[in-house]
């Protein structure tokens, strides 16, 4: 033993020191080893603009638990970290920085702007990496990647060219999400939907023939300037005679057709809807089916363009007011209804997003989605929990073509060149020498960059060197598990799956482990606007990373949101203290007495019990972790270490340790068992609380290099000891009953009494006899007498009934007999209630016929036990009747 632990557990300093050691020893680094099976996962790349928040802390803690577990199991574990260039948010940050210096981005120019952005990335881009290190993540920092690094950029370019050659990438007019402030298209992932108070404006659309009008309801009156049809359901008898006729678009006076399309829900509203193909994705699809004109009535800044006539130049909301006023003046406004609806806003600047038609680059999704859909049915892919299969499939089955171009400078520039002479588009890695159409030699590259998700879609294989057939790629790919939140299944997971199949022919991972969101103690989502966010770094600074990690996993179930309570952090810190103090006690006594491997296995029932329980724990925790039930596994480790190991076995073992001079062999056996079981407990706890477990293990087992690279424990059937387990469970019940009696009767701590245990069970009697001295110590008893009947026990003894035996304490000079009768009466009522409940269940034919056989038998056993206990209580009440 090198040295004892510090007197007080203090994670400050210790955690940084240990992390530096792990980095120095390269324990996180993965090298190809054909003798081992690889286990690979990739970190969902956080934005370089971000800093560690609770979502990151949870996501990376779960990944770290899995990678540490697999590493200890002997897998060649590789966890690849990296960051995302976060195109729009980074550009916004740098643009704001320039504004503060009085510099206009456009005047600075693209090249100079990109230089400044790279400078910004170098200065601030590593912030979150350093914060992740504080959390203790064991990823291979030697392999850290960035979505704009040379290798990832090569992969992006390769994929764009390949998809374009196959016809999957095209340039065309389609509806996109447009931010009028940032003046760029957005992916669905960059649009946040929030409930806003709005209105339904009901408007009369006159029929051309003068035979009345159609009533249309809309939440965006300004878009009516671009209406090109009215649609009704073909089965709606109200409008059958109008299909094919013409209506007059109010205020614009343009003739528009009345068409039939099944898209219209005849039960919703008036059953007639305005069709604006240039300003609504569903209307666009209707327009495509009916060959309708597409009239975009907005400029990039969301002002009305020349197509809007008298409203041209007005902001969209100013135009809305003017249009509504003009409709009312013309007698065409039927009514206005208040309406709460979801409105899309840009997640970076908060601006309401405008869907409108614009020429952009798109990925054709129909064919690419097919293998991703089949992945679930053919077993290539599974979700944990399984219910997210439906979310994944629903999105894929309804997927639209993906808009991949962005009107910003920071990002992967689209490798497309336009001939300055004839406008021909040439997609190539380098600027072409001559135009294949006209022979021109002057070209201009497309100004747009690619959607950030285009590069992160390639993350599982681009990070391993693809498109080069590197050894890393061939050995570590496909990866094994992806850990991520349910909020980006559509945006990221799906893109990785179809990209993996298209580019590598394989699903990029076999399992997607989904976790929920971290909410505040009231169940609200953490946000800047509510001011309810909690900084993980502040928690780490105050309580340590281990306490935070344990809190994040305690009670955590796959796919479910969880609430964050500071009380849980306190409880996690208390647990760390408990483990620390117990370890310190063991090591101090090993230092004092010494310990060596015994010549033979222990026969002491307490030793065999704790070894058996530790062995069962290994089996259960391993099964739970393999099923990704990380919260359940942690709960079992916690209960074992706190309750069975610290509160019971250590206390039981103290007698042998304190009497080492009298029986050195027994003391050595106890200390050896303590050390061995603590080692197992530390190994099982290590993935969750890596720092405290490493610090203790280093000093407990100095001959080993590190707990982090030690072997995961393996279940051994030979270590099962059912007889000893039974004896110890009875021992615990006896001690608890004695403690309860003393507490109820307010017996002073210093006063000791003889404990009589009456049992006719020979095996139990023999086992308890071996524990006699330990029971005296932990139950504060003068003596423990184990016998087959009540002979010699004072009539005024207080009793407690436990399964298979009765416990007596002769406290006649301390006992308030009336209080004892009350206590037994309460126990009688309790047992009668349990008997009534069990009898009722067993009399229920539905329960008996449908419940598992084991469950029915369990209820029968309970009933028998309660009846025996009730009989003993009634006997005690009868005995006290005359006192």
Q: Which residues are annotated as a binding site for ATP?
A: 528
Rounded CA separation 765/608 (Å) = 17
Place of tokens 């240990």: 18
Place of tokens 């979310």: 391
Place of tokens 């999957």: 168
Number of Cβ within 10 Å of residue 683's Cβ equals 20
Residue ranges of the binding site: 528
Sign of the alpha-carbon torsion through 831, 837, 840, 842: negative
Residue 415 three-state SS: coil
Contact yes or no for 606/531 (Cβ under 8 A): no
Rounded CA separation 178/779 (Å) = 73
The DSSP symbol for 837 reads H
Kindly give, in sequence order, each residue whose CB lies less than 8 Å from that of residue 18, ignoring residues fewer than 6 positions away: 690, 691, 694, 695
Checking phi first, is residue 523 left (phi over 0); if not, alpha (psi -120 to 50) or beta? left
Give how far Cα 384 sits from Cα of 201, 630, 795, Å: 45, 12, 61
DSSP letter for each residue of 493-529? IHHHHHHHHHHHSS-S-SEEEEE--EE-TTSPBP-TT
Rounded CA separation 708/184 (Å) = 47
> For residue 483, what are its two tokens?
């850990």
Contact yes or no for 765/754 (Cβ under 8 A): no
Kindly give, in sequence order, each residue whose CB lies less than 8 Å from that of residue 252, ignoring residues fewer than 6 positions away: 224, 225, 227, 309
> In which element (H, E) is residue 38 found?
strand 38-42
Contact yes or no for 559/387 (Cβ under 8 A): yes
Cα 717 to the center of its chain, rounded Å: 34
> For residue 94, what are its two tokens?
């740098």
What is the distance between the terminal CA atoms of the chain, rounded to a whole angstrom?
60
Checking phi first, is residue 654 left (phi over 0); if not, alpha (psi -120 to 50) or beta? alpha
Rg (CA), the chain: 36
Sign of the alpha-carbon torsion through 107, 110, 112, 115: positive
Place of tokens 């615990």: 732
Checking phi first, is residue 601 left (phi over 0); if not, alpha (psi -120 to 50) or beta? beta
> For residue 57, what are its two tokens?
């802390």
Cα angle 365, 368, 374 (rounded to 5 degrees) comes to 125
Rounded CA separation 33/19 (Å) = 24
> In which element (H, E) is residue 740 found?
helix 722-744
Q: Helix/strand/coil (H, E, C) string of 291-357? A: CCCCCCCECCCCEECHHHHHHCCCEHHHHHHHHHHHHHHCCCEEEEEEEEEEEEEECCCCCECEEEE
- Whether the ω angle into residue 622 lies within 30 degrees of 0, i.e. cis, is no
Rounded CA separation 223/826 (Å) = 75
Number of Cβ within 10 Å of residue 726's Cβ equals 18
Contact yes or no for 74/36 (Cβ under 8 A): yes
Kindly give, in sequence order, each residue whose CB lies less than 8 Å from that of residue 62, ignoring residues fewer than 6 positions away: 483, 513, 515, 553, 630
- Whether the ω angle into residue 506 lies within 30 degrees of 0, i.e. cis, is no
């Amino acid at each position: 033993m090198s040295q004892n632990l510090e007197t007080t557990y203090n994670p400050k300093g210790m955690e940084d020191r240990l992390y530096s050691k792990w980095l120095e020893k390269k324990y996180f680094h993965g090298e190809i080893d054909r003798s081992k099976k690889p286990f690979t996962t990739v970190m969902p790349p956080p934005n370089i603009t971000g800093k560690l928040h609770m979502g990151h802390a949870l996501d990376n803690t779960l990944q770290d638990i899995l990678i540490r577990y697999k590493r200890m199991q002997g897998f060649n574990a590789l966890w690849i970290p990296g960051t995302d260039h976060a195109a729009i948010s980074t550009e916004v940050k740098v643009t704001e920085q320039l504004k503060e210096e009085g510099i206009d981005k456009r005047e600075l120019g693209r090249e100079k702007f990109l230089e400044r952005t790279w400078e910004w990335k170098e200065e601030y881009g590593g912030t979150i990496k350093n914060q992740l290190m504080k959390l203790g993540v064991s990823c291979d920092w030697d392999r850290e990647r960035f979505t704009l690094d040379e290798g990832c950029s090569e992969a992006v370019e390769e994929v764009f060219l390949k998809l374009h050659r196959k016809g999957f990438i095209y340039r065309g007019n389609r509806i996109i999400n447009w931010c009028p402030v940032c003046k760029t298209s957005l992916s669905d992932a960059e649009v946040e939907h929030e409930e806003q108070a709005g209105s339904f404006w009901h408007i009369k659309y006159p029929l051309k023939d003068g035979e009345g009008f159609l009533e249309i309801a809309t939440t965006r009156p300004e878009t009516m300037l671009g209406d090109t049809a009215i649609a009704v359901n073909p089965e709606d008898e109200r409008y059958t005679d109008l299909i094919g006729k013409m209506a007059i678009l109010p205020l614009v006076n343009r003739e528009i057709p009345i068409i039939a399309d099944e898209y219209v829900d005849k039960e919703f509203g008036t059953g007639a809807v305005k069709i604006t193909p240039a300003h609504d994705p569903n209307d666009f699809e209707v327009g495509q089916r009916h060959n309708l004109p597409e009239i975009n009535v907005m400029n990039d800044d969301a002002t009305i363009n020349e197509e809007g006539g008298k409203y041209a130049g007005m902001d969209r909301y100013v135009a809305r007011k003017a249009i509504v006023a003009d409709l009312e003046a013309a007698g065409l406004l039927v009514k206005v209804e208040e309406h709460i609806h979801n409105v899309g806003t840009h997640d970076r600047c908060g601006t309401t997003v405008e869907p409108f038609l614009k020429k952009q680059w798109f990925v054709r999704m129909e064919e690419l989605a097919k293998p991703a859909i089949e992945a679930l049915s053919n077993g290539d892919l599974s979700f944990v929990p399984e219910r997210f299969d439906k979310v994944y499939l629903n999105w894929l089955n309804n997927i639209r073509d993906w808009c991949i171009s962005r009107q910003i400078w920071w990002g992967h520039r689209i490798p497309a060149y336009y001939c300055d002479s004839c406008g021909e588009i040439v997609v190539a890695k380098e600027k072409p020498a001559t135009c294949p159409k006209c022979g021109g030699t002057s070209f201009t590259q497309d100004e747009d960059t690619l959607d950030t998700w285009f590069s992160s879609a390639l993350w599982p294989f681009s990070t391993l060197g693809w498109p080069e057939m590197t050894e890393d790629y061939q050995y570590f790919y496909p990866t094994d598990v992806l850990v991520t939140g349910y909020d980006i299944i559509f945006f990221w997971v799906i893109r990785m799956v179809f990209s993996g199949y298209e580019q590598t022919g394989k699903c990029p991972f076999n399992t997607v482990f989904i976790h929920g969101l971290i909410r505040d103690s009231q169940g609200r989502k953490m946000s800047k606007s509510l001011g309810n966010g909690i900084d993980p770094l502040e928690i780490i600074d105050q309580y340590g990373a281990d306490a935070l990690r344990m809190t994040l996993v305690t009670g955590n179930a796959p796919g479910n949101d969880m609430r964050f309570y500071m009380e849980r952090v306190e409880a996690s810190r208390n647990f760390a203290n408990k483990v620390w103090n117990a370890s310190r006690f063991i090591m101090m006594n090993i230092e004092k007495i010494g310990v060596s491997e015994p010549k033979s296995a222990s026969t002491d029932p307490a030793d065999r019990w704790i070894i058996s329980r530790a062995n069962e724990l290994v089996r259960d925790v391993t099964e739970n972790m393999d099923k990704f039930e990380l919260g359940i596994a942690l709960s079992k480790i916690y209960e074992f270490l706190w309750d069975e190991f610290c509160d019971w076995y250590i206390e039981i073992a103290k007698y042998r340790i304190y009497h080492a001079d009298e029986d050195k062999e027994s003391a050595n056996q106890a200390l050896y068992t303590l050390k061995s079981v603590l080692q197992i407990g530390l190994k099982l706890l290590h993935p969750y609380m890596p720092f405290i477990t490493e610090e203790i293990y280093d000093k407990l087992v100095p001959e080993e290099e590190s707990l982090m690279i030690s072997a995961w424990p393996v279940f051994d059937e030979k270590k099962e000891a059912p007889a000893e387990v039974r004896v110890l469970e009875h021992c615990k019940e006896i001690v608890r009953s004695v403690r309860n009696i003393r507490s109820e009767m307010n017996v002073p701590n210093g006063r000791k009494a003889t404990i009589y245990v009456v049992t006719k069970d020979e095996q139990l009697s023999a086992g308890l006899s071996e524990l006699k001295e330990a029971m005296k110590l932990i139950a504060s008893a003068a003596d423990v007498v184990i016998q087959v009947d009540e002979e010699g026990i004072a009539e005024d003894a207080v009793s407690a009934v436990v399964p298979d035996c009765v416990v007596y304490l002769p406290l006649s000079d301390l006992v308030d007999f009336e209080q004892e009768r009350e206590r037994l009466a309460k126990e009688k009522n309790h047992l009668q209630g349990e008997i009534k409940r069990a009898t009722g269940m067993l009399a229920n034919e539905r329960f008996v016929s449908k419940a598992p056989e084991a469950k029915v038998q369990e209820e029968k056993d309970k009933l028998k036990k309660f009846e025996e206990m009730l009989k003993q209580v009634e006997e005690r009440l009868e005995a006290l009747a005359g006192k």
